[in-house]
Amino acid sequence: MIARLIALPGNEQYEDEVLTELNMGRRAFVFGAAGIGLVSVAGCTTSNNSVEISAEAPPLPQNTIFSDMYAAKPDEQFPLPAIPYRKIKPRFYRQFVDDPTGERPGTLVVDTANHFLYLTYENGKAMRYGVGLGRAGFEWSGRGVIQYKRAWPRWTPPDEMIARQPELEPYSASNGGKPPGLDNPLGARALYIFQDGQDTLYRIHGSPEWSSIGKSVSSGCVRMINQDVVDLFNRVQNKTPIVVTSLPEPLMHSA
C-alpha cells in the first residue's frame, strides 16, 4: 500500500508517501517468520499492490506488528520502556525493503543522506532501520568492519569529546567510564566500527532519545532506537563489513 497522506493517532499528518503501517507490518512479519539467516538463506518477496489512502482513513489498529516491535522489554538487564513509535515517521520503522545499496549480502550500509541503516540479504532485499547521525563536522564515512559488539556497554567518551565537554571528565577512561544503564548514551547494545585494524571511535548504538531518529544531532555515532539495536545486534556477527556512505533518496513506494 502507498499512503500519500496518512494521519497517525496522536501524531501529525505525514505528507511523505510512506507505506501504511498495516502493509509494513506484513513485510516485517513475513521477514521475521521466515527466520532468514545473514547470508546463506534467500530473502522474502513482497507485494507491489498500491491503494490510495485519504487523511480521513479510520484510525490504525492499536495492536499491530509495530506495537509489538516497539513494546517494552522487561526481560532486559535494564528493562526497556516501550517506544511511542506513532510519534516517529513511519519510514523510520524497522522494515524489510528492496536493497538499494549494491553491496553483497551480509553487509551493513549506513545511508547518511536519508538516515537509514541497511543490513543486506540475498535476492536484492535488506532490513532497514531509521537512525540518527552526527551533526555537521562530526561525520565519518568509509568502509570498515564491526570488530566486536557489546550488550549494555560501558560508555567511555574519547579525550577529544572531554576536551569539548569537560563535564564528561567523570566518565573518562581513567575514571572507568559510565556504567551501563538506561541513561547510558550507548543504550542497550553497541557495535564497534574499526577500519584497517584501528578503532574509528564510531559506534552503532542504542539510545533512549528515540526522537533523534531521522536527525543529525549526535557527536558522530549512529544512533538507533533501543529495540532496533537489540534486533540488529542479534542479526550480525563480529567482522561484519560496514559501509558509511550517501545514497540517493529511495523511491516512495519502498520508503
Residue 139: its pLDDT value, please?
67
Q: How far apart are CA 155 and CA 178, in angstroms?
A: 5
Cα separation, 224 vs 127, whole angstroms: 14
Q: Is the pLDDT of residue 143 over 70?
A: yes
- 53-106 pLDDT tens trace: 333 445 555 568 999 999 999 999 999 999 999 999 999 999 999 999 999 999
pLDDT at 39: 33
Return the percent helix, strand and coil in the chain, to nearest 5.
20, 30, 50
pLDDT of residue 36: 37
Return the H-helix or E-strand segment holding 181. none
Does 205 participate in catalysis according to the annotation? yes
Is the separation of the CB atoms in 130 and 214 below 8 Å? yes
Q: Which of 44, 115, 221, 253 is catalytic?
A: 221
pLDDT of residue 62: 58
pLDDT given for residue 74 in this prediction: 98
pTM (2 d.p.): 0.75
pLDDT number for residue 6: 35
Confidence category of residue 9, pLDDT binned at 50, 70, 90: very low
CA 94/CA 28 separation, integer angstroms? 8
- How many Cα atoms occupy the beta-carbon half-sphere of 166 within 13 Å? 0
Q: Which of 15-29, 43-57, 95-109, 116-130 has the lowest mean pLDDT?
A: 43-57
Residue 104: in which H helix or E strand, if any? none
Compute the Cα dihedral for 84, 85, 88, 92 and give only its sign.
Answer: positive
Where along the chain do its domains lie?
6-54+62-152+187-250
pLDDT at 50 > cutoff 80: no
pLDDT digits (tens, 9 = 90+) for 216-249: 987 678 999 999 999 999 999 999 999 999 998 8
What confidence score (pLDDT) does residue 11 get? 39
Q: Tell me, yes or no, if 44 is annotated catalytic.
A: no
Q: Residue 244's beta-bridge partner residues?
A: 110, 142
Q: Give one DSSP letter per residue of 196-222, joined into a string.
A: TTEEEEEEEEEES-GGGTTSEEESSSE
Class of the 6-54+62-152+187-250 domain? mainly beta
Give me the chain's average pLDDT, please.
Answer: 79
How far is Cα 26 from Cα 207, in angstroms, rounded to an integer? Answer: 26
Residue 160 banded pLDDT, cuts 50, 70, 90: confident
Q: What angle do CA 147, 151, 156 make, to 5 degrees?
A: 70
Contacts of 25 (CB under 8 A, 6+ apart): 64, 65, 66
Neighbours of 69 (CB within 10 A): 21
Segment 6-11 mean pLDDT = 38
- In the chain, what percentage of residues exceed pLDDT 70? 71
How many Å apart are CA 149 and CA 222, to the nearest integer?
14
